[in-house]
Amino acid sequence: NSGEKLGMIGVNGSGKTTILRILTGEQEQTAGEILIPSDVRMGYVPQYVKHNDADTTMEFLLSDYRAISENLRLQEENLERVSEKNTNAALRAYQRARDDYDRVDGDLFPQRAEAMLDTMALKGKEDQKVGSMSGGEKNVLSLARALLSEPDLLLLDEPANHLDYLGVAWLEDFLIRFKGAVLIVSHNRYLLDRVAGGILELDGGKITRYEGNYSAYRAAKLRKLLAQQSDYIANQKRLARLEELVRRFAEIAKVYDSKEWGRRLRARRSQLEREKKNAVEKPELNQSALAAQFLSEETQADIALQMRDYTRGFDDFTLFDNAEMDIAGGDAVALVGANGSGKTTLLKDIVERGNWSNHDLRIGPSMNVGYSAQQQEVLDDGRTIVEEIRDAAPMTSQSAFALLNRFMFQPED
């Protein structure tokens, strides 16, 4: 509904992104139909935005506008040179191009794009290359481009990814103030608590709606599961009683060899079969809980990471200036900071340059470094997940399947 803000949740691979792509027309559904009023404008921010690293932020924002503007120019030129017998077709093509241009308020679009950068706290970065921006800044820039179309319905796929804590707070406030409808796919429960007025749960190919925010959904879901569990237990007890009754009737019918007891036995068996067909399914509790534990060998090492005189920057911009840090073996440390402050740069430097002999980034000699990037950089898209796991560490296929199962991968994956 207009102005409604809904969150969509579900385990990885349940189809959340696919639904968004179907709504935008990027994919086609295999059955059924989707009704979207023709006057509803949609804005879509995918989880991974395609961009040209060489483009500036302003070129990125104006990319759709320039395509529309160029099409209008071409149709105007075509209208001037078209023959008289093709005038009607050329007029229709021109009118479609003109409607597209007017729909985005083309005459004022460049000024609106500049104002949008200011609104999104990106003022002064009009000429910055997109490739040099942090993941969070790219997310905000993608949202800005979607908002320039003044959408009635905003579709967001994991919008909080790559945003720092300040960016997430800004996103929450922005979505609360946004006048249009919003559909958010997110694993961020705090974002959904603040913004969502309803939750759509995607499970087993079905969508169930729950009213309220994420916390309300969790409470309602728990009540529903407990009720299902109670119904299941009661149903199992009833089936057990019927099975016992059938067993007793079978013994009596065998002893007395009576047609009457035979008829009763057949009736009870038929009843038992009907009850089994309509039996209450056992509720699946905690299906979304990730059972994996991240374990490593115990270490007595005093030094996991030692940073001394670490200096890093790009061009004339300094990220770190003679920075120092110590992390001991067994420590768990969170690295926080604003988007663009150098968090990812530091992690990549630790992976690529860190070793015991490096003064500024010294890694303990007994330490093995594991790295999980914001966007996967080391996986081969042409290989199976089992092949990737076995390439990372020697193990049997059975061990690889067992490990993957702990991360909610199924055999068919």
Identify whether residues 52 and 113 lie together within a single domain.
yes
Domain-terminating residue out of 214, 233, 258: 214
Is residue 194 domain-shared with residue 223, that is, in the same domain? no
Same domain, 226 and 83: no
Residue 81 CB contacts under 8 Å (≥ 6 apart), including other chains: none
Of 273, 225, 219, which is closest to residue 246 (Cα–Cα)? Answer: 273
Asked if residue 196 has pLDDT above 50, the reply is yes
Structure tokens at 94: 């021109």
- pLDDT at residue 289 in the model: 43
Does residue 44 share a domain with residue 12? yes
On whether both 208 and 222 belong to a single domain, the answer is no
How large a percentage of the chain has pLDDT more than 90? Answer: 23
Residue 398 lies in a domain: no
Residue 197 to residue 182: CA distance in whole angstroms: 10
Helix axes 87-103, 57-81, angle to 10 degrees: 160
- Clarify whether residues 205 and 231 are in a common domain: no
Same domain membership, residue 154 and residue 10: yes
pLDDT of 343 > 80? The answer is yes
Instruction: Identify whether residues 79 and 121 lie together within a single domain.
Output: yes
Mark whether 57 and 24 lie in a shared domain: yes
In a domain, 242, yes or no: yes
- Residue 209's pLDDT band, with cuts at 50, 70 and 90, is very high
* pLDDT of 237: 93
Q: 104-113, 119-128, 187-196, 293-302: which range is least confident on average?
A: 293-302
Please report whether residue 409 resides in a domain: no
Mean pLDDT over 178-184 rounds to: 92
Give per-residue pLDDT as tens, 29-40. Answer: 888 888 888 788
Q: How far is CA 321 from the centre of its chain?
A: 36
- What's the whole-number mean pLDDT along residues 244-254? 86
Ranking 188-202, 239-253, 284-298 by mean pLDDT, the lowest is 284-298
Q: Within 10 Å of residue 294's Cβ, how many Cβ atoms?
A: 5
Q: What digits encode the pLDDT tens for the residues 353-367?
A: 988 888 899 998 888
Residues 88 and 237 in one domain: no
Determine, yes or no, domain membership for 325. Answer: yes
CATH number at residue 71: 3.40.50.300
- Res. 288: pLDDT tops 50: no
Q: What domain range is 89 assigned to?
A: 5-214
Same domain? For 230 and 96 the reply is: no
Same domain, 84 and 187: yes
**Is pTM beyond 0.85 here?**
no
Say how far apart CA 368 and CA 297 lie, in whole Å: 10
Nearest to 350 by CA among 393, 305, 382: 305
Question: 401: pLDDT confidence band, cut at 50, 70 and 90?
Answer: confident
The total of structural domains in the chain comes to: 3
